[in-house]
Amino acid sequence: MPFVKNSWYVAGWSTDFEDRLVPLTICAQNLVLFRTRAGEMVALEDRCPHRLLPLSRGKRIGDTIQCGYHGMTFGADGRCVRVPGQSNLPKSAYVDAYPTLERHGIVWIWMGEPEAADPALCFDMPELADPNWHVHHGDKLHIRANYLNVAENLVDPAHVSFVHPTTLGNAASENVPVHVKTGGEAIVAWRWIRDAEPIGFFKKFGGFSGNVDRWHYYYLHLPSTAVIDFGSADANLALPEEERDKGVRIFALHFVTPVEEGYTIDHWMHLRNTALGDEEASEQMDRMFRIAFDEDKAILEAIHEEEQRPQKRKPIRIAIDKGPNVYRMRIRDMLEAEATVDLGEPVSPVFVQHD
């Protein structure tokens, strides 16, 4: 299955990129990234068109890269600016340049047709710039699995009770039905567990003693950015669905970047309306997230291995699969659109209100 190309994918945190050459692979395309002296992010095809040495093996000279084999040199736009031993610079001497975008401390890269790289298509949410929210960059999770399986897991609240019984879920939710809304800009799956024991995470951070109302909203923005809105409120408040800000509320963000067919990096971070400015709380949350996400990683990698083995029967689909099923259909539509028209029609939604 090919990758959805016409999309902004996260290449890393802003702090990952200084002036050295950074090799990265996204959508099976080897890239070399660096920041110009003016601070702009540059992303080029990481292969000299001459003898194919990766340019990341070369040397940065000003805002150009000099190949480490014979010194051919390329500018930030990918065009060759020097061929040692000759004076003419043939037009065919170039490498592909990829549009980049930097916002909220996150570096994005557009892997599709450059002309279609509209910054307005890049994921954003108002809380990222809102002082009432604490924004904390987490980490990169390397997963030996296909990115669609990783993303699908993020619109699938049903797995939480079984995969994360000590952190993000518990047995109380095993049979609580999942609601799914698939018509809007993002696929949304959610459920409320009313008047139940708080989960490990909120025991720690919410300071709840009695029962709580707990919610999980999974917003999956195509192709592979997830916003998980979860929180808890004292059960006595009987909190209406639209007043979640009155509880302890957290947005966990997952930017799922396909590296190769069987290799994915999940850049994760969170926003919260509690413990603002408390970096120790951030670290504690990271530790709990790490436990939970490593549980996902173990499952996803075992499945990936199993998917490589021969299949005797078709897999089955069950009631809780509604979100993942719609997700797969829409991905197939995006791939079909990219495969059959010049540019593809951008489906990726932008700036969704999480109300």
Binding site for a copy of itself (CB under 8 A): 30, 47, 49-54, 57, 66-72, 83-86, 90, 92-93, 96, 156, 158-159, 161-163, 174-175, 177-178, 298-299, 302-303, 306-307, 309, 312-313, 315-320
The least CB distance from residue 243 to a copy of itself, in Å, is: 27
- In a 13 Å sphere around the CA of 332, the CA atoms on its Cβ side amount to 6
Residue among 134 and 191 whose Cβ is closer to a copy of itself: 191
The least CB distance from residue 87 to a copy of itself, in Å, is: 9
Residue among 15 and 86 whose Cβ is closer to a copy of itself: 86
Pairwise CA distance, residues 99 & 119, whole Å:
10
The least CB distance from residue 303 to a copy of itself, in Å, is: 5
The least CB distance from residue 261 to a copy of itself, in Å, is: 12
Residue among 74 and 123 whose Cβ is closer to a copy of itself: 74
Q: Could you tell me which residues are beta bridge partners of residue 134? A: 272
Residue among 58 and 138 whose Cβ is closer to a copy of itself: 58
Pairwise CA distance, residues 154 & 217, whole Å:
10
Residue among 67 and 135 whose Cβ is closer to a copy of itself: 67
Residue among 267 and 304 whose Cβ is closer to a copy of itself: 304
Residue among 160 and 271 whose Cβ is closer to a copy of itself: 160
The least CB distance from residue 83 to a copy of itself, in Å, is: 5
Residue among 303 and 343 whose Cβ is closer to a copy of itself: 303
Q: With contact defined as beta carbons under 8 Å apart, do 346 and 121 qualify?
A: yes
The least CB distance from residue 310 to a copy of itself, in Å, is: 8
Distances in whole angstroms, Cα of residue 34 to Cα of each of 20, 49, 119, 341:
6, 19, 20, 32
The least CB distance from residue 25 to a copy of itself, in Å, is: 10
The least CB distance from residue 314 to a copy of itself, in Å, is: 8
Q: Are strands 186-196 and 134-143 parallel, antiparallel or unpaired?
A: unpaired
Alpha carbon dihedral 108, 113, 116, 118, in 10-degree steps, equals 10
Distances in whole angstroms, Cα of residue 305 to Cα of each of 163, 164, 207, 300:
18, 21, 41, 9
The least CB distance from residue 318 to a copy of itself, in Å, is: 5
Amino acid making up residue 154:
L
Residue among 246 and 317 whose Cβ is closer to a copy of itself: 317
Residue among 299 and 350 whose Cβ is closer to a copy of itself: 299
The least CB distance from residue 192 to a copy of itself, in Å, is: 15
